[in-house]
Amino acid sequence: MTSWPALFGALGAVTFGFGLLSAILSVFQPVTSYTWVIANLVIGVLLIGAAIASSLDSLRERMASGEARRVGKYGASALFGTTFILAIICMLAFLSTRYSTRFDWTEQKVNTLSEQTLELLERLDQDVVVTAFFNAADAFSIRELLDRYAHESEHIALEFADPNRRPDLVQAMGIDAEALSRGLVRLAIGEAHLDIDQFDESEVTNAILKLSRGEGRKVYFLDKHNERPFEGEAAGGGNGYSQAAAALRNETYEVASLFLASTGEVPVDADAVVIVGPTRPLLEQEHAALDAYLARGGALMVLLDPRANTDIAQDLAKWGVEVGNDVVFDARLALFGQATSPFSASFGAHPITDKLRDTVLFHMARSVSVAADTSLLQSIVYTGEESWAETDLDGWTANGKAQFDPGDLLGPVSLAVAGELLVGTSQDNAGSDAERTAARLVVVGDSDFASNELIGNYQNRDLFVNAVNWLVDDTDQISIRPPISRASRFRMTGESFVRIQLLSLFVMPELIAVTGVFAWWMRRKRPAN
């Protein structure tokens, strides 16, 4: 019955080997239970012992023959090979604790930090201490996010603290106990710190940006000319600009209203002024205030819809921007074939649009182009080649039909202009320009694209926020914002995770090995032909 000792020995080697491998891997990561390890080692020792005890007679005969030397030779070789492989596995496990590589195979890369965040972390030259106060059961999702920051930058020092186990740390930081009910993340650079209770990439990135920058910029929205509302109850509607204002606040900008007829001038703390869809004329004093603001190097963005009953176009003409009295049509490259809702087809080379890779959706837009004698301004957004700017607006309104006529502007049609203005020009005795101040200007022939209804589509938000970034000379912030959508995830407890690892790494492979041993043993018992 020499076949039985062979079966016992092979099964014992398999179970003892998996038990030993489980014990080694558990040193680096507790993926197996002690019951599993001990059971395999004990069963393996018993089976090997049974194999040796049941084959003592044949073992003595082999030891007395030349076969013993041959077995010893091959056995020593097998033992050396096995030891070498185990040493490699242990070394790889050790190296995995020192070095790591991450992969994100989701379509929208939702498990990867956005380009904007990565650029911020690359520029970071100060140590940011991040302390997350969470119970162990609630820390899973936020740990995933914060670990990405710590992985990308050596300046991020991350610590997780259970408030129930670290009341000393809570007291030392002066954190209110009520603020810890849903969890809290404190970010600190030196003595300055910020607490956040909204746990997404935008909040964390903006907190780091605020701390590293020190102070924010201020953006004023012109008011009292029937502009689109950015605050108050009306701002939350589809035509409102509450989401656009929130997007600027997320960039650490302070947003405020500007009643120019009351103040008489643009405040000195204005880093940029935004005029969104006015439909009433400005007073002469307001025109003069905008001129004075640009003369001192200000930054202005004007979003002007077709047929708007406003006289801001005369200021734009004076600054070198030609605003067409038209509506842009594009039957081919438009939203569901609605010709008055064109998509952008291409972008001009400019910091505002350089990183835009997708399209921008507009609705009821007018053409905006650069005057021939203005070289510092340039068009930055164009429609498709089959588009045109319809100038017969009365005829279109009357019969609801529009077609390209010789007097219309053939596409690609420019929808936005950006650049610098040299204002405050004077001439010295030699006839050369002197004391010229550089102001910044962005003009878009549509205000719908950044409204609540459309700002979340395509790259509308990025175009609007990038334009403000450039106006305030905050070009480091010009980028693509984190995606709003998130990948679906299967949530599991830590215990379930360990069970799945145990099943996939040890139970299934060991069952396969045991099945192979039985197949080998049955073939060995079969008489040779």
CA atoms of 334 and 54, how far apart (whole Å): 84
What SS3 state is found at 219? strand
User: Percentage of residues in the chain with pLDDT exceeding 70?
Assistant: 77
Average pLDDT, the chain: 81
CA atoms of 449 and 341, how far apart (whole Å): 10
Confidence of residue 30 (pLDDT cuts 50, 70, 90): low
Residue 207 near residue 193 (C-beta atoms within 8 A): no
pLDDT digits (tens, 9 = 90+) for 128-159: 999 888 876 666 778 888 888 888 888 989 88
Does residue 28 have a pLDDT over 60?
Answer: no
CA atoms of 173 and 166, how far apart (whole Å): 11
* Burial class of residue 66, CB neighbours in 10 A (0-12, 13-18, 19+): exposed
CA atoms of 231 and 510, how far apart (whole Å): 65
Confidence of residue 1 (pLDDT cuts 50, 70, 90): very low
CA atoms of 268 and 509, how far apart (whole Å): 72
CA atoms of 495 and 492, how far apart (whole Å): 8
Predicted local confidence at residue 486, as pLDDT: 45
Predicted local confidence at residue 413, as pLDDT: 96
What SS3 state is found at 237? coil
Total H helices, total E strands in the chain: 16, 19
- Mean pLDDT over 447-471 rounds to 94
Residue 329 near residue 390 (C-beta atoms within 8 A): yes
Does residue 433 have a pLDDT over 50?
Answer: no
242-250 vs 460-471: helix crossing angle, rounded to 10 = 60
Cβ–Cβ contacts within 10 Å for residue 18, how many? 24
User: Percentage of residues in the chain with pLDDT exceeding 90?
Assistant: 36
**Residue 451, C-beta contacts closer than 8 angstroms, at least 6 positions apart:** 228, 238, 239, 240, 241, 244
Predicted local confidence at residue 291, as pLDDT: 94
Predicted local confidence at residue 263, as pLDDT: 92
All structural domains of the chain, each given as residue ranges with its CATH number in brackets, are 3-101+506-525 (no CATH), 115-210 (3.40.30.10), 215-425+433-477 (3.40.50.880)
- CA angle in degrees (0–180, nearest 5) for 201-207-212: 125
Does residue 271 have a pLDDT over 70?
Answer: yes
Predicted local confidence at residue 516, as pLDDT: 77
Residue 396 near residue 404 (C-beta atoms within 8 A): no
Q: Which helix (H) or strand (E) holds 393?
A: helix 393-399
What's the predicted TM-score (pTM) here?
A: 0.64
Q: Which of 58-62, 323-327, 363-367, 470-474 has the lowest mean pLDDT?
A: 58-62
CA distances, 446 to each of 119, 374, 427 (Å): 30, 22, 37
Predicted local confidence at residue 350, as pLDDT: 94
Confidence of residue 431 (pLDDT cuts 50, 70, 90): very low
Predicted local confidence at residue 295, as pLDDT: 92
CA atoms of 121 and 155, how far apart (whole Å): 8
Predicted local confidence at residue 90, as pLDDT: 73
Does residue 434 have a pLDDT over 50?
Answer: no
Predicted local confidence at residue 41, as pLDDT: 80
Does residue 19 have a pLDDT over 80?
Answer: no
Q: Which of 116-120, 125-129, 133-137, 177-181 has the lowest mean pLDDT?
A: 177-181
- Of 75, 81, 79, the closest CA to residue 63 belongs to 75
In terms of average pLDDT, the best of 131-145, 163-177, 274-288 is 274-288
Q: What is the DSSP letter of 435?
A: S
Order of strands across the sheet with 184-189?
156-161, 128-133, 184-189, 192-196
Q: Which residues pair with 329 in a beta bridge?
A: 388
CA atoms of 306 and 445, how far apart (whole Å): 7
Predicted local confidence at residue 213, as pLDDT: 74
Encode 296-305: b = buried (16+ Cβ within 10 Å), e = exposed: eebbbbbbbb
